[in-house]
Each structure stands twice: as structure tokens, then as C-alpha cells.
Amino acid sequence: CFNEALPNEIFRKRSNNRVEGKAIVELPKHWNASETHFWLYASSWDMMHNSDSVYI
């Protein structure tokens, strides 16, 4: 996530089940979601393989 107002970026690593088709991203309380850009990518369990990122 990148916040254009601050500017600042954060990475969130959380195990999500892709079958569910959703992910929960908790942002710092002082971040406004409308000023935040998101990219999504997947990693293998051993972190050896990563997908390309997608801007969402």
C-alpha cells in the first residue's frame, strides 16, 4: 500500500485463502483509504516464488 498524502508505504504479509476471493488489509488509523494505492501479489509458502503484482 502506498499513501500519496504522506508519502509512505507499507507491506502487509498475511496468509489468506485465495478460494475465499477476498483479503483484509488493515491500514494505520491515520491513513485515508481514498489517498491509498494498492497492489496485490501472491507468494508461495516458502517465499521462493512471487507472482507479478496487480494494481487494484
Q: What is the pLDDT of residues 5-43, one digit of tens each?
A: 888 777 777 666 667 777 777 888 888 888 888 888 888
First to last CA, the chain: 10
Minimal CA–CA distance to 10: which of 46, 45, 32, 36? 36
One DSSP character per residue, 11-38 reads -------GGGT----PPPTT--GGGEE-
Distance, CA of 6 to CA of 3 (rounded, Å): 6
The per-residue pLDDT for 17 is 67
The per-residue pLDDT for 3 is 85
Task: Supply the range of the domain harboring residue 24.
Answer: 1-56
Q: For residues 37 and 27, is the Cβ–Cβ distance under 8 A? A: no
In the structure, what pLDDT confidence band is assigned to residue 49 with cuts at 50, 70 and 90? very high
In the structure, what pLDDT confidence band is assigned to residue 55 with cuts at 50, 70 and 90? very high
> How many domains does one find in the chain?
1
